[in-house]
Amino acid sequence: MEQVIYKNTWNSSSYTSFLMLGSILRKLEISFEDFISGRSTISKTSLREALCDVPCEELIPLWESGSGLCTSFSLCVAARIESQNYPSTFTVAELRGHRASFNQRGVVIDSSARQALTLQKQPVKAYKGTWKMERPEESAPVLLFKPSKSNTFSPFCPLKDRCEGMKACLLQLASQSTFICMFRMEEYNQLGFNGRITYKSQERKITWSQVRFNPSTKRQQFFESVVDFSVPGDKETMISYAAEFRGFCEDRARIQQYEIVKPFLAKLWDTCIEELGYGNCYGVWL
């Protein structure tokens, strides 16, 4: 059951910080116009104060679909498992800015594993490394992780509850200037990604990239389309790139996940044009 819920959530959600950015701007009462133009910036101190009295119910939309960062995915899958009359509730834990959920039975929900894990006596290797669980006598189990290129296991630190995990995610995002959406997919029974959108607030760029055939190198390669609003461009090219962007997002492999972030992206695109004008458009092979 855990594996099915994990895969279904992966395939219906995206890895994105756009939803959190929108929530942060609303909480700090910063308009899109002021944020994009640079008239207002996100203060981590102000956000911490604003989050102090936020009830848990207000944060649920940031994880209930599974779309979001590692925290949102973990909380969503854990909540969906628990809703199936599950006998054991999950603990939210953090390790170096990354969050996962686990329970007493050894079930681990971590987006970097790309599968639901069940830990017993032996460590389990998955996508980004190896997980194991220690069970000290008369105390709660401890989840540990070792990256693929490391020889050392480090323990996750348990958090108070889901709300604390979500607030930690928001605060972590407050100091960033690049925001992202990566569309998830499953291919040949392997979980992965199928295209990426970024908004770089300091550079004033919107980019989207996907794998294409490069006729010069004669191989599959990432191609990135860029709209650079820090450099003036022309309306005709901008209209063409806007149509390309919509086509990218509404591709049948992405459209379900796109619908969740569509309102934010539409507002972002329109506001960039209103505040910054038409940007310089170009493409580059990565």
From 32-36, 103-107, 180-184, 227-231, the region with the lowest mean pLDDT? 103-107
Residue 165 and residue 193 share a domain: no
Residue 112 and residue 242 share a domain: no
Confidence of residue 119 (pLDDT cuts 50, 70, 90): very high
Q: What is the mean pLDDT of residues 227-242?
A: 97
Q: What is the mean pLDDT of residues 231-251?
A: 97
The pLDDT of residue 28 is above 70: yes
pTM exceeding 0.85: yes
Residue 84 and residue 57 share a domain: yes
Q: What is the 3-state secondary structure (H, E, C) of the chain?
A: CHHHHHHHHHHHCEEECHHHHHHHHHHCCCCHHHHHHCCCCCCHHHHHHHHCCCCHHHHHHHCCCCCECHHHHHHHHHHHHHCCCCCCCCEEEEECCEEEEECCCCEEECHHHCCCEECCCCCEECCCEEEEEECCCCCCCEEEEEECCCCCCEECEECCCHHHHHHHHHHHHCCCCEEEEEEEEEECCEEEEEEEEEEECCCCEEEEEEEEEECCCCEEEEEEEEEEEEEECCHHHHHHHHHHHHHHHCCCCCHHHHHHHHHHHHHHHHHHHHHHCCEEEEEEEC
Question: What would the two tokens of residue 158 be?
Answer: 């348990």
| 14 half-sphere exposure, CB direction, 13 A CA radius | 26
- Residue-wise pLDDT for 180-220, tens only, equals 999 999 999 999 999 999 999 999 999 999 999 999 999 99
- Virtual torsion, Cα 82, 85, 86, 91, nearest 10 deg: 30
Distance from C-alpha of 219 to C-alpha of 195, rounded to nearest angstrom: 17
Confidence of residue 34 (pLDDT cuts 50, 70, 90): very high
Note whether 12 and 76 are within 8 A (CB): no
The pLDDT of residue 50 is above 70: yes
Q: Enumerate residues 6+ apart whose C-beta is below 8 A from 43.
A: 28, 174
Whole-number pLDDT of residue 136: 81
Sign of CA dihedral 242, 15, 20, 263: positive
Q: What is the mean pLDDT of residues 112-130?
A: 95
Select from 152, 170, 188 the last residue of a domain: 170
The domain total for the chain is: 2
Residue 151 and residue 19 share a domain: yes
Confidence of residue 83 (pLDDT cuts 50, 70, 90): confident
Confidence of residue 146 (pLDDT cuts 50, 70, 90): very high
Q: What is the mean pLDDT of residues 260-272?
A: 97
Select from 136, 170, 204 the last residue of a domain: 170
Residue 141 and residue 16 share a domain: yes
Whole-number pLDDT of residue 84: 72
Confidence of residue 138 (pLDDT cuts 50, 70, 90): confident
Residue 159 and residue 24 share a domain: yes
Residue 80 and residue 26 share a domain: yes
Residue 214 and residue 104 share a domain: no
Residue 260 and residue 186 share a domain: yes
Q: What is the mean pLDDT of residues 213-240?
A: 96
Select from 123, 139, 170 the last residue of a domain: 170
Distance from C-alpha of 39 to C-alpha of 35, rounded to nearest angstrom: 6
Residue 9 and residue 143 share a domain: yes
User: Whole domain around residue 111: which residue ranges?
Assistant: 2-170
Note whether 205 and 226 are within 8 A (CB): yes
Question: What would the two tokens of residue 57 be?
Answer: 């119910």
Q: What is the mean pLDDT of residues 52-78?
A: 95
Whole-number pLDDT of residue 4: 96
The pLDDT of residue 270 is above 70: yes
Distance from C-alpha of 168 to C-alpha of 160, rounded to nearest angstrom: 11
From 132-146, 148-162, 194-208, the region with the lowest mean pLDDT? 132-146
Whole-number pLDDT of residue 88: 64
Closest CA to 178 of 192, 197, 156: 197
Distance from C-alpha of 170 to C-alpha of 23, rounded to nearest angstrom: 9
Whole-number pLDDT of residue 137: 75
